[in-house]
A and B are shown apart, each in its own frame.
Chain A
Amino acid sequence: MLNNVGRQTRPEGAGGDTEMPETFTGNRALNLETPLIFEQGVPGRIGVDLPEPKKVKAKLGGLARKGRIGLPDLSEPQVLRHYVRLSRQNYSIDAGFYPLGSCTMKHNPRINEKAARMPGLGDIHPLQPESTVQGALALVYELAEWLKTITGMPAVAMSPAAGAHGELCGVMAMRAAHEARGEVRTRILVPESAHGTNPATAALCGYKVDSVPARADGRMDLEAFEAKLGPDVAGVMLTNPNTCGLFENDIRKIADLVHAAGGYFYCDGANFNAILGRTRPGDLGVDAMHINLHKTFSTPHGGGGPGSGPVVLSDALAPFAPVPYVVKDDNGYRLQEDVEGDAAQSFGRMKTFHGQMGMFIRALAYMLSHGADGLKQIAEDAVLNANYIRVGLKDVLHTPFDGVCMHEALFDDSTLKDTGVSTLDIAKAMIDEGYHPMTMYFPLVVHGAMLVEPTESETKETLDLFIGTMRHLVDKARTGNDPDFFKNAPRYSPRRRLDETGAARKPILRWAPEGTE
C-alpha cells in the first residue's frame, strides 16, 4: 500500500527568517496584492455599457430569476488592474526558463496568436453552412495533411481536446477494432513509468491495466512484455521517447510482438518534440498516437489549457475514427458529422463540435513557419540542449540511466542523500534563483526524480547559467551548513510555501460572503 511520495506538503516553521519587514499595504514595491474580486465590488458600478432592453412581455415560462446572484460590481479599470496584478504573480515561459520535464515549455510565437484572431477564423460559428466556411475546412484539412506527413501515418482524428482526450480516442479506436472482429480482449499493457493518464484512459475503456517493469537501462523490459502478451491483450500503451527521456530502442520489436499477438500499439506522443523529422511513428509500427499541439507545436499552455490532441491512426484503426472529420471531394470540403456512410464504423463523437480550431490555427502557423528544415532542427536542438545539461550536471547530480538522453535529462536524488535537503527543497530554492522548477518526483520509478526539459528555445547562455545555478545549489546542500536556507525557500516569491495539507483536510473551494458558512 505504500507509495513513496509522502513528501512534505506543509511548511515547516513560521518563516521567521524573513529579512524584509512587512509593509503597511502588504505590497512589496512591484509585487502588488489584490483582494478577491468578490471583496472589491460596490453596487452601482459596472464594467460594461449596455443598451436598454426592448420593452416586451417576458416569455420565460414564469421562471424568471427572483433573487440576487451575488456577483460583485466593478468598473472597467478596476477589473483591468485586478487581473494585471494577478498576472504578475505568475511565472511564465516569456519571462524565464521553464525546464519542466514532459511539458515542453517552448516559445509561443505571437504570429500564432494573431492568426487565431483573424477575421473569418476566430469569429466563425461551428454550425454555419459548409459553403460559408470552406477556408476553415481547408485549414483543418491542411493541418491534418501536415500531421500525417510528419508522422508517416495514413489518417488523423482531429477532434480530441487534449492529450488525455487523444489517448481516449486512440484506445477507443483499438477497442472498436477488436469488437468489429468479434474479439473480446481485456488487458492492456502499460509500462511502470507511464503518465497517469495512460492507466486512467485504459480503465475508462474497460481494460484492466497490466504493468510492465522497466529494465536497468530505463527502457521497458522486453522479456517481461513478451511474457505478458496473450490473446486477451488489447494492446500496449507506450510513451516514446519515454518518461525517463530515453528512446525505446526495442520499439520495432515491441510493435511486431504486439501485432503478432493480435493487439495494437498505442504510442503516447507527449514527447514527440524529440524526434520530429528524425523518425516517423509510421515507420516504428505505431497504430495510434496523440500529438499534444500545446507541447510539440507551441500552442500556449494558458495556465493549464486549453490543449488539443489530434490522434494519428494506422490503416487498421482509421475506419473507427470519431466523427466529425473533414472530407475533400470535387465540390470542395465537407464535414462528415454522423456515424453513417463512410463513417459507419466510427466509434462515435468526442466533443460538442469539430475540435480545438483555435489551436489548429496556431499549430499550422507554427508548422508553416518552421517548414521541413525547421521541424528537424527543433528536435536536434531540443536533444542537444538536454544532453548539454545532462553532461553539465552529471558530476554533481546522479543520472539513473547511462548514455545519451533525448529531449529531457533525468536525475535522481542520490547525491542529496543524508544532506537533509530533498528534491522539493532544491526546486523551491530554484524559484528564488528565478527559475520555474523542473518536474519532480516523476517518473515514479526514479527516487526523488528531477526531470529537466530545456526545449530548443533556449540559448547556450541560459543553459550555462542554469547549470551553474544547479551546481551552486547542490554544492550548498552537500556542504550542509545551512539546512534552513532550503527549508525556508522560496523567500522572494509572491507567496512562501503553502499549506497543502490544510487545504486538503478542510477544502475551501469558493468564496462566500461573511456569515454564510
Chain B
Amino acid sequence: MTLAQIANALGLALLTQEQDLTQITPSAGYTSDMLSCVMSGAPQKSLWITLQAHVNIVAVAALLELSAVIITEGAAVDAATIAKANEKNVILFSTPLSTFEVAGRLWELGLRAG
C-alpha cells in the first residue's frame, strides 16, 4: 500500500512539498509522542503517527528514514518545521483525526506494526 493510497483513504493533508507518493510504500506503522521512544522503537521506513509537532520530529524521521509522519488532532505545525522537513526530504501529513482513529484505519487498510 502506497502513501498515495493512504493519504487518499484517510483524507490526509500534505504539509510538505509535492512529490510522487505512489512510489513510497511504508514498511509498517508506529505511534508514540515521546521522541526518545520513537528513536528506539520505530521500524525503519515505517509510517509514524503522532500529535507531537515540534521541529525535532523531522530529525527523528530523517534519522530512521521514516516513510512519512502523520500529525494528528490538527496539532499546529509551524513554518520552520515544514521548511526543515522539506530540506531533509521528510514527508509530513496533517489530519484532524485522533491518533487512535488513524492507527485503526491504517490497520484496516492492512498496515501492521512491523
Q: Is the A/B pair a real complex? A: no
The interface of chain A, by Cβ under 8 A from chain B, is: none
